[in-house]
Amino acid sequence: MNILIFAGTTEGRSLAQYLAHQSIFCHVCVATEYGEQLIEESTFIKIHAGRLTSGEMKELMKQEAIDLVIDATHPYAVIVSENIRKACEESNVSYQRLLRSSVRLENEEDAVFVDSVEEAVRFLQAVTGNVLITTGSKELAKFTVIEGYKERLYARVLSTPEVVKTCAELGFEGKHLICMQGPFSEELNVAMMRQIDAAYLVTKESGKAGGFEEKIRAAKKAGAKAVVIGRPSVEKGMSLEEIKQFLIKETGKNVHHQISLVGIGMGDRKSLTMEAMEAIYAADLLIGAKRMLEPFAGLHKPMMCEYRPDEICQYIQEHPEYEKVAVLLSGDTGFYSGAKKLMTLLENENLTVCPGISSVVAFCAKLQISWDDVKLMSLHGRGQNIIHALKEYGKVFTLVGTKDGIPNLCRKLIDYGMEDTKISVGEALSYPQERIVMGSALQLQNMEFDPLTVVLMEREKKEFVVTHGISDDDFLRDRVPMTKEEIRSISLSKLRLQKDSVIYDIGAGTGSVAVEMALQACDGMVYAIEKKKEAVNLILENKRKFAADNLEVIEGLAPEALESLPAPTHAFIGGSSGNMKEILKALLEKNSKIRIVVNAIAVETVAETMQCLKELPFCEEEIVQVSVGRSKKIASYHMMMGLNPVFVFSFTGGGCA
């Protein structure tokens, strides 16, 4: 498809560049040499400079075999648009009008609306005060009928020699002639109006791309009244976004997006990096959770309120009109951020990651402490073993994310005998309602906090965390049977646990094996299944004593009690109540590659386990008989006392290769 764009506006130039980035060739017509300078010719853009009559337009369409014309001329260039439309009709070429986005004023009392330049002149003749005219040089002559115009009026025009000469001939020169290329920022507009002590600003309703909103807001700040010349007529056509969609569909091209994953820091714009700000300003579309988008509402860019990675990717793919997309993410893109999944989902796109100031960096700076020795964690939408980390590292920082997160954390610390832990809470960091509260777990357990909270926990000394080899005497046991420490050590070595293993302890007894497994698999989870109430209570007491927060006690009989639990990676069976085969079948159904260790003392249990190894798909079978003798001091002698021999079965699901 051969496309011709009459690019007399910012939108026209933007469309040409968008097509070039998508490897779609187009011809671009500009009226002046200055317009030619604003757009760079490339492999996919051919520029035609100079004003054309309707006949010359027809000749160009014929010469270049044009299939589609996009009229992106200025809304006030009515005659030019009529000529383009006429040339298309006579050449039997498709025509589309690119409309400039209109802007609705929040308060129409901020402006005076007129239908034409002549009406604006009549209004200014009836009032006093300096005037900044921003409607260009073409109709500047009409303002010269105003009495004392050389002293009252200030014209802001393009900086080409021809324009400067024309304005000078009309009597606009010196400080009354401002030659610059726009659009202009709100701040610059305010500064200009204050510099010339403007009482009025004359502008056309030039839309978002023409800087209309910035001018209106600036006039209000500078104490000037805006005189707005309305558009000549209501036109039919498509917005820039709609015409991009249309062209992508017509050409059948796959869109190449430029996507930035932007860490916005704490939330306040002052914590943004320059790289992040540039990515946000350059974006055609901003995506993020509501809190991420709110600081940028004043940019008046299209926004998509979404934080779920899959939905974000789907929206981007469904909207090819947005070439540059900025996905706004809280804090830093590398610290418990949605950027992790987005990077995987968007790996085939042109992707840039802009890191931000993370909450741990900002909070520790406010506390005036370093964070190089702090364990970084998060409770925001996930479960982590904070208690184990605090015992091991002594300093833990975590994101919270729920209103009751801090009180719950304090109560957990108290429950595990860590009530003296020093806690520093950072609430709504960088926002006007920011609050930093410090105290112990006891002092903060009943306080309310904003969900947007971080916490630093500190203990005076780190504890040496024993993962296995805990003395039998350290456990609370009462009359409940307990696996002896030597057998525990051998059994745990045969299990081959990993840090994040999910483990069942079936027939958990006092919980001695479950506790040691929980301390060893500190990033995993242990489920202790026990049918006797007395034993269940003992397990809970031992859990509290050893601060095994990743240990959950399930009261019930296996295999029925296993049904609702997550799939295990490992299982220890210390008691089966005669259900060995049913238990092993249930474990294989949950994970066919599960690693299992069985302790058996009774001959019947040994026989049942041997039979199961024959009938069920297991491999890596190993059977060890362990006989332990312990010394007992009698008078001045140490006598060895034998304990019951134990069979330790270890095997893996999957069958022999």
Give residue 654's region: left, alpha or beta (phi > 0; psi -120 to 50).
Answer: left
Q: Are strands 395-399 and 375-378 parallel, antiparallel or unpaired?
A: parallel
443-487 pLDDT tens trace = 999 999 988 899 999 998 776 656 667 887 888 887 777 888 889
**In this structure, CATH architecture of domain 3-97:** 3-Layer(aba) Sandwich (3.40)
Looking at the chain, the whole-number percentage of residues with pLDDT higher than 70 is 95
- Which amino acid would we find at residue 162? E
* DSSP string computed for 263-324: E-BTSSGGG--HHHHHHHHH-SEEEE-HHHHGGGGGG---EEE---HHHHHHHHHH-TT--E
302-360 pLDDT tens trace = 899 999 999 999 999 889 889 899 999 999 999 999 999 999 999 988 999 999 999 99
Compute the distance between CA of residue 240 and CA of residue 253 in angstroms, rounded to an integer. Answer: 17
Q: Fold identical between 108-229 and 472-653?
A: yes
* Alpha helices, H only, 171-230: 186-196, 212-222
The residues with which 398 forms a beta bridge, in sequence order, are 377, 455
Question: Any idea where the domains of the chain sit in the sequence?
Answer: 3-97, 108-229, 255-357, 360-458, 472-653
- For residue 654, report the phi and psi dihedrals to the nearest 5 degrees: 130, -20
Cβ neighbors of 462 (< 8 A, separation 6 or more) are 391, 392, 393, 394
Q: Is the pTM of this model over 0.95?
A: no
Domain 360-458 fold is 3.30.950
**In this structure, CATH architecture of domain 255-357:** 3-Layer(aba) Sandwich (3.40)
Domain spanning 108-229: CATH 3.40.50.620? yes
Domain spanning 472-653: CATH 3.40.930.10? no
pLDDT at 109 over 70: no
- For residue 59, report the phi and psi dihedrals to the nearest 5 degrees: -65, -40
**For residue 571, what pLDDT is reported?**
98
- Top pLDDT among 653 and 207 is at 653
